[in-house]
């Protein structure tokens, strides 16, 4: 995968989520997850806690994945 946030996509895969299942878990559209992984957008503050839960990382670790 090419993109700015390869670590985010890799973490998603490690915990067993597809882009679609992650989107469903955090209640966003799959296209939103794709944009996060390509580095086009960042998760809104209200979504970050649920996203960190889905990826089984702390909010601080999530920030590092998004950097």
Give Cα separations from 66 to 38, 59 (angstroms): 10, 10
What value does the mean pLDDT of the chain take? Answer: 94
Q: Indicate the fold that domain 6-66 takes in CATH.
A: 434 Repressor (Amino-terminal Domain) (1.10.260)
Answer whether 0.85 is exceeded by the pTM.
yes
Average pLDDT on 15-41 reads 97
Average pLDDT on 42-62 reads 96
| Predicted pLDDT at 1 | 47
Average pLDDT on 29-52 reads 96
Average pLDDT on 31-59 reads 96
| Predicted pLDDT at 3 | 56
Give Cα separations from 6 to 20, 30, 34, 43, 46 (angstroms): 17, 17, 11, 15, 22
């Amino acid at each position: 995968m090419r993109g700015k946030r390869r670590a985010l996509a890799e973490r998603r895969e490690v915990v067993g989520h597809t882009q679609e299942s992650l989107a469903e878990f955090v209640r966003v559209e799959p296209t939103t997850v794709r944009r996060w992984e390509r580095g086009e957008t960042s998760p809104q503050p209200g979504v970050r806690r649920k996203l960190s839960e889905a990826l089984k990382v702390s909010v601080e670790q999530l920030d590092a994945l998004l950097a």
